[in-house]
């Protein structure tokens, strides 16, 4: 019988680039920019214009929440 291999994902360590906190989750861009949920809530008018997408200030890319 053949064994099915599963690729284990390495646990990602999150560090918010705005406040420096290490929360359990950050919104992450593919360029590496990370922002925690608290900073995202505080500065939603900077990161999002419609509440559906967010803007990465490092690489100028738009991402879906």
Predicted confidence (pLDDT) per residue in 35-57, tens digit: 999 999 999 999 998 989 999 99
> Predicted confidence band at 12 (pLDDT cuts at 50, 70, 90)?
confident
The strand ranges marked E within 1-65 are 26-28, 34-36, 53-55, 62-64
Q: Are 40 and 33 in contact (CB under 8 A)?
A: no
- Which residue(s) pair with 53 in the sheet? 64
Supply the pTM of this predicted model.
0.75
Q: Are 31 and 59 in contact (CB under 8 A)?
A: yes
pLDDT category of residue 31 using cuts at 50, 70 and 90: very high
The pLDDT, as a whole number, for residue 2 is 65
Q: Three-class SS of residue 40? A: helix
Question: Residues 13, 17, 20, 24: what is their CA dihedral angle, to the nearest 10 degrees?
Answer: -40
């Amino acid at each position: 019988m053949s064994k099915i291999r599963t690729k284990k994902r390495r646990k990602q360590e999150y560090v918010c680039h705005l406040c420096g906190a290490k929360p359990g989750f950050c919104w992450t861009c593919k360029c590496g920019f990370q922002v925690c949920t608290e900073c995202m809530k505080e500065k939603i008018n900077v990161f999002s214009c419609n509440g559906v997408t967010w803007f990465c200030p490092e690489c100028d890319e738009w991402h879906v929440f």
